[in-house]
Amino acid sequence: MTIEVIVLAAGRGTRMASSCPKVLHTLGGRSLLDHALNTAQALEPSHIHVVVGPENESLAEAQTRGTLIWHIQKERLGTGHAVELAMCAVHEPATVLVLYADMPLVRVDTLRALCAQAQDNRVVMLTACLDVADGFGRIIRDKTGAVTGIVEEADATVKQRAIREVNTGILVAPARRLGQWLAGVGNGNQQGERYLTDVVAMAVADEVDVVAHAVADLDESLGVNDKVQLAAAERALQRRQAHQLMQVGLTLRDPARFDLRGQVVFGSDCVIDINVVLEGLVELGERVTIGPHCQVRNARLGDDVVIHSNCVIDGVKVGAGAQIGPFARLRPGTDLAENVRVGNFVEIKKSQIGAETKVNHLAYIGDSDIGDAVNIGAGVITCNYDGVGKHKTVVGDGAFIGSNAQLVAPVTIGAGATIGAGSTIRQDAPSGKLTLTPGRQKTVSRWRRRRDDSQ
């Protein structure tokens, strides 16, 4: 059976109250449209058709997926009209699956089951049984339980609105029959639109079997029309992801307070505490521990790494046995070797830090190459920016940089060198020597502290 998928993404999204198109709002770090396209591609269809509104025409130019065919719905005349636009490019022998970009949580396995039932010239639709069915079209059945049609809520009677079985909108139908039915869909309803759902009654009239396939997981039926629904879908996605990760061995101290906005790959015995956000591609070795309230983005953490609380780790490679934080920020281009210690209120950017080196507190290291077993004292900064360009600091193995020192780049500190506390180093410091910039201490005997006479 050849499958062609039509993704409807032309809604204005006015209830989102945003200048951003609804289908570009993000869920788990990816746009709603991206979720729908990834799901569609997992079915390996022959073609994917995407229907967007005129204001989103640039989306077609931004996408590089080879199987996508874009259609612009210049006038929003309803879902039936949107599908009909795409049907012009669908091959008749195919079976058509209609998806919605604002339904990001439908599972691939559910859609496979839907398509499997679409053989023998059937129409199959995805339904859900909800306690609160507001906003959904209701499934109408006859006395025998057979589906006879769908009524939209705006057109439903009071009795029909009491029905709990609802239409999610997702539909599978033979392309040839679907095209014929769509040509006959009118707009004689409360909203003056051409409803895709009208084809169900047409199929029944043509004695074509209509199968209602109910979702097992109601989260799959969640649609996104406003920020409240977007937040609900986000929580549902995070619950799903957390459950999947724990099933394959990741320890989450509280799965309700964990967010994955990308992909995580991990070894055995990794532990993640509360309120941790993982973004992009995060790779964890074995026995990695991430403390509470951390953000980790596009990072690779080696075996036995410990990230203490309240750290931001972004675009970083961390060697085995390193310890970071609390309250540390590692910026893109940072590469820590084995057993590095980065302490509280330290910021490192675009720097290589050698094995066993300690940068324990209140330091800034930028555009630097720091050797092995170096000690960076409290308050040390590399002055890497002159207002126009960035310059490099090089510190050799075994150097000791005293507290509150300033290393003005470009500068090289030799191996085994010691830099006196409070020094400002503007020239290269030789290996194995003490270098400092002394200033004579002075006491002003006649000085008196100001007093506040108002007290």
Annotated active-site positions, please? 361
Place of tokens 């058509």: 96
H-helix or E-strand containing 141? strand 137-141
In angstroms, how far apart are the furthest CA atoms of the chain? 107
**Distant-in-sequence, close-in-space partners of 36: CB < 8 Å, separation ≥ 6:** 7, 9, 23, 99, 100, 101, 103, 104
Q: Which of 167, 170, 172, 169 is nearest to 115 (CA)?
A: 172
User: At which residue do the structure tokens 């859900």 appear?
Assistant: 128
398: tokens are 């075994």
Cα torsion 247, 248, 252, 254 to 10°: value is -10
Taking the CB of residue 350, how many other CB atoms lie within 10 A of it? Answer: 17
Extract the tokens encoding 8. Answer: 């409807």
For 93, the token pair is 């022998």
Q: Cα(171)–Cα(210) distance, rounded to whole angstroms?
A: 10
For residue 178, the surrounding DSSP H or E stretch is helix 175-183
Backbone angles phi, psi at 329, to 5 degrees: -130, 115
